[in-house]
Structure 1
């Protein structure tokens, strides 16, 4: 395989790396605001690492949002991309665009054991789907299907926008408050960075408290410092993540295991591991025993999206198109 370039592009940052011999090299993180176009960002990246553009023959970019056709508009930044123009400007023979959480899912096939923290013990069923779910800027949900011979298909979807489930009277009260403000309440409305702040404000409104915290980081920091009300809010966040993850497991039959990914949960990993996540993950009435042997891991890998983009590019270059989605 010739030299490839992979990217994992979010709203604020674009992560780039070379993909050679099935490994990442020369990872760099650039601010999307510093560049008018992705082409210019890639040229700046290659200049920084001293790599000639002409030596790169294929690019795979993992992008937030549905990927269809030759035109792509990035969800959370100002970049736009036209596939033929992109290839012409960079002299490429190949550009592969995949959904960012499809890349995240494929990245799970390459994470190292030491990059996974066990949340629930269990046994992997190698023939069944695996669920990848991660709160960050939004809520990403992906499905990983094993196809045999170390070939994987990552199914893209918009599972973060399903209805927020209700499993307790407190959750019903919170949902009713949110619905009165915004109408439809999706899982992502709570299970994301901005969602944690929304949950904090809704909790304050229900309990007649004045809001004192103004960012998701402040809510998390206050909870980790022992503030009782912030602890309650972060605990509710973990419980709702458990309910949404459990619903997805039942829908997909994801007995291959569950990966908790994304940028948020690793920041409060110790809190998460003793939270109500596991209880709410399994709390499914007469189907609760279904979860007894399903493993769950918290992902602490640094660049799983880049790894997944590399896997997608590798499978495409080897003609194993079934692995791409």
Structure 2
């Protein structure tokens, strides 16, 4: 979280955005809720300021009514101006605030907003997929296979509030737990060199897992996308179903390793575009058992850690609102 502005209290209406390489999602944050969600194509606008003006015009909101903005940006966010890696936009903090007349501009990493969302989402937006008892005062882990593999931690602050710790946990080494894992890992290593968790636990990773599994088994692979692999699995294709199951088991091991690394006994929140899409199949998978099927020390450590899947429709936007709210209250 980064801002260069004076401390102030939240105003009645703020603007939040979730900006990726292709699309920019915007919404109004009012009364701790999202309103007027719109999706704009980044390629249609020379600058992010132009997209913000277009959004406000679409929803009938005057620019003068917006004093505070939080934008979730795809990529590492520091104190400097932000350059998007997958589109032509640049956010110059001072120029952006000056042109739009803002008091407060907050830029956060896009996956960090998933962690902010996890600090506030209620039962209607969460499905528990592993029983346990979350410990108060302990970190929470947020992990999300999607375009890539996002990982973040949510740390409780003394008294109240949360601190989000972003990281590059998707690029840790892929854990190998058996002969089949090793055979698939060898195929991936031959192709990519370093085999990160993201090489399997992402959209392209599911495709990698399918192709490598076919090579190991001597099966002629089809040219299937991640979505098609999942759809075929749900339709009764036993081979694709086995690949999807292996995906879920590998997610369990990576998530369990991350919990032990950061001491996330406050629970695990799974987000991203893959698991929520196949939620019923995920609930029938071996994830819950594989999560703590480990040695005599690590198994008991993980045994009571609960796991939820985030099913909120726009968790990135919601998390941006929560991040902005806490930043204004804290004077960050």
* Gaps in structure 2 of 5+ consecutive residues: 1-9
Which stretch shows the higher mean deviation, 73-82 or 305-314?
73-82
Q: 1:113 to 1:148 in 2, by over 3 A?
A: farther
Is this contact kept in 2: 1:258–1:295, CA < 8 A?
Answer: yes
Aligned to 2:112: 102
Aligned to 1:124: 134
Is this contact kept in 2: 1:102–1:156, CA < 8 A?
Answer: yes
For residue 306 of structure 1, the aligned residue among 313, 317, 321 is 317
Aligned to 1:13: 23
For 1:67 and 1:86, the matched residues in 2 are separated by 16
Which stretch shows the higher mean deviation, 51-60 or 29-38?
29-38
For residue 299 of structure 2, the aligned residue among 273, 288, 306 is 288
Give the aligned CA root-mean-square deviation in angstroms: 1.4
The alignment partner of 1:95 has SS state of strand
Q: 1:129 to 1:221 in 2, by over 3 A?
A: same
For 2:283 and 2:331, the matched residues in 1 are separated by 38
Aligned to 2:53: 43
Is this contact kept in 2: 1:213–1:219, CA < 8 A?
Answer: no
For 1:251 and 1:149, the matched residues in 2 are separated by 24
For 1:211 and 1:228, the matched residues in 2 are separated by 14
The alignment partner of 1:245 has SS state of helix
Offset at residue 199 of structure 1 (A) = 1.1
Is this contact kept in 2: 1:70–1:84, CA < 8 A?
Answer: no
Offset at residue 204 of structure 1 (A) = 1.4
For residue 315 of structure 1, the aligned residue among 313, 323, 326 is 326
For 2:85 and 2:289, the matched residues in 1 are separated by 34
**TM-score (norm. length: structure 1):** 0.95
Is this contact kept in 2: 1:249–1:255, CA < 8 A?
Answer: yes
The alignment partner of 2:138 has SS state of coil
Aligned to 2:249: 239
Residues 1:227 and 2:237 are matched in the alignment = yes
**TM-score (norm. length: structure 2):** 0.93
Aligned to 2:164: 154
How many aligned residue pairs are there?
Answer: 321
* Gaps in structure 1 of 5+ consecutive residues: none
Aligned to 2:5: none
